[in-house]
Structure 1
């Protein structure tokens, strides 16, 4: 584990480095308040889980990966691909420009790109797995009971959810309506099928296989 300066934020010991501060400022500047708070809570949950589980990890990578994991949902980071990939590319460039080597930059990319794919992310490197775990905890409550009650209260008091369930549902429905072609193989499809009238996923894995140019 890298040794870096630390501070206590909402009851959790976290790294206190210039890059973490820059990542926080960047996320705050481009994100809606509910989305920024979600990113910070995800970081705090990831950090706390790493400590509680005694996981050897690069705390600065976990901090930056979680803080930037949803920048692809902002108006500042857009493009034709699924939001996780757009965000991952920008996050990787962000850390490269600030001195991360290629291995650490790739861990950032993986943390952002896989943030909504826990069936893969949880089994990656410790940093990616912890980012995925912290994000999943804040999004859907996975591992909720591992966080001490006092710490949970401190995190929620410092960074309230601000109608997170409704606001992020609206966000994903907007993606469904404006970029449906990015939703055929990921979790955003679930929001379209539940909340958006007449949504039809653009394609399926079965269609992809059966319509391939091979005879068999």
Structure 2
């Protein structure tokens, strides 16, 4: 929150670890996974790398591989330090502006959202509900009114329950499309770590 009032000028943005660019802005909220954001932007710069200098050609590739591993639930705690070290080498050693700025999303997301990286690695959980291997949808029985709207809209038939009684999600059928979560009017469908659902509910076809 302390960065919400940063002036949009070259010096202020540089101090915060950002760049002016074209002056455009991307607005994100708590449903945006910062680890996935870093992966997304790095995948673009890695593809755009001309390959002339080794730091950019190989450094961006190695960082992207690590980020992909983290978002797939296979991250290791030492990956954060490796990302930071590799990012600084790429930033300081690349020949052109693309290579010099490519690590920025990695460095700034680690700097300001390190807790999200740690959650992905230590807890195997994506708090934003973006990285599919790292979360499940679960129905809170205390909030569910049994209206059936989630079951009606589920494309996989993964939700069932009696009218006016708490419904249940069959985790083996759920594709995590988010339709149920977006349609629930009672905030009864929550995002949880996969390991929190120890006994997936089986729904009879």
TM-score bin, normalised by smaller chain = 0.3 to 0.5
Larger Rg: 2
TM-score of the aligned structures, taking structure 2 as reference length: 0.32
Q: Which fold has the larger relative contact order, with Cα–Cα distance below 8 Å and residues 6 or more apart in sequence? A: 1
TM-score of the aligned structures, taking structure 1 as reference length: 0.31
Structure number with the higher helix fraction is 1
